[in-house]
Amino acid sequence: MPRLPSRTGRQIIRILREHGFVLDHVTGSHHILVSLDGKRRVTVPVHRRDVPKGTLREILRQAGLTPTDL
């Protein structure tokens, strides 16, 4: 498996939008995005620092993406 790069929440949201996700709503500092077909839902924390590797891995899994998609 390729190594996961460091990404901020805003960078992850940009990548998810490029892969067909749209913003559903925001709760505090967490942005909830859904796929256009409505089958996938992903929560992305938007803080001032990089998203932890484990959280990034889980976001990718929920979105159906791989580290090479980053």
Q: What is the CATH number of the domain that holds 54?
A: 3.30.920.30
At 8, list the tokens. 């901020």
Judge whether 22 lies within some domain.
Answer: yes
Q: What is the mean pLDDT of each run of 10 residues along the chain (70 residues)?
A: 88 98 98 96 96 97 94
Placement of tokens 């409505």 in the chain: 38
Planar angle of CA 66, 47, 56, nearest 5 degrees: 15
Say if 42 falls within a structural domain: yes
In a domain, 70, yes or no: no
- Whether 2 is covered by a domain: the verdict is no
In a domain, 26, yes or no: yes
In which domain, by residue range, is 34 found?
A: 9-65
Establish if 4 belongs to a structural domain: no
Residue 17 domain flag: yes
- Retrieve residue 51's tokens: 């998203």
pTM for this entry: 0.92
Structurally, the chain folds into a number of domains equal to 1
Q: What is the pLDDT at residue 70?
A: 86
Amino acid found at 42: V
